[in-house]
Amino acid sequence: MDLARRMVQCGSITTRTLDRIYNSSVTLVQIASRRWRPQPILRRRLCTKTAGTNSDAKGFELVFLESGEQVANDALFEASMKKSSVPWKDYSRLMKDEKSIYMAHLNAVENRKLLYKDPTTGYIVFSVSQHLHKGSCCGNGCRHCPYGLENCADFVKKKFKWNGAYYVQS
């Protein structure tokens, strides 16, 4: 009898866990921390237009390395370097933490990476290479958006200010 009760308890715990894992509105961060934090799923609902992919027309492709990692091809690399270059006048006005973010982003673009780790928060952030590969603004208010946040809602656009290198929350 005791064994049967334990089996039922294990079954209900397992089904609850599986239900949380496969539920599309709950993410692993929410399960692990038991606290609610804003998730990318909620940010996508703020988008006013759907993002299409027209990166093929410009020749922007991803290349696989021997390790299996995807990196930018030559055309995407050159466009990313052009978009991420900042004049000295703008760079000198950045604060210390903003400079470290800019240098981490520039290092990722120079290494043809699509993502980099933010040195101040530790979050993984899309580089300008990833945004150019997508082909249009996704509407999430991304830091390195090369399209000027064109698909973002007005209240999202008002939250961000261009500091000469990338968008920061004002």
Closest CA to 114 of 73, 57, 53: 73
Tokens 């990692």 found at? 69
DSSP-based three-state secondary structure for 31:
helix
Mean pLDDT (whole number) for 135-146 = 93
Confidence of residue 170 (pLDDT cuts 50, 70, 90): confident
Percentage of the chain with pLDDT > 90? 62
Beta strands in 36-169 (DSSP E): 62-64, 70-72, 115-117, 124-126, 160-162, 167-169
Q: Model-level pTM?
A: 0.67
> What is the per-residue pLDDT across 6-58, written as a single tens digit (0 to 9) for each?
555 555 555 555 455 545 444 444 455 555 555 554 444 555 554 455 555 57
CB of 128 within 8 A of CB of 143? Answer: no
DSSP state, residue 165: S
pLDDT value, residue 28: 47
- Which residues are CB-contacts of 123 (< 8 A; sequence separation ≥ 6)? 117
> What is the per-residue pLDDT across 102-111, written as a single tens digit (0 to 9) for each?
999 999 999 9
pLDDT value, residue 42: 45
- Give the Cα separation of 32 and 34 in Å (integer): 6
Tokens 């958006």 found at? 145
Residue spans per domain, the chain: 1-37, 43-169
Q: Is the pLDDT assigned to residue 114 strictly greater than 90?
A: yes
Q: Is the pLDDT assigned to residue 169 strictly greater than 50?
A: yes
Helix axes 96-110 and 74-84, enclosed angle (nearest 10): 160
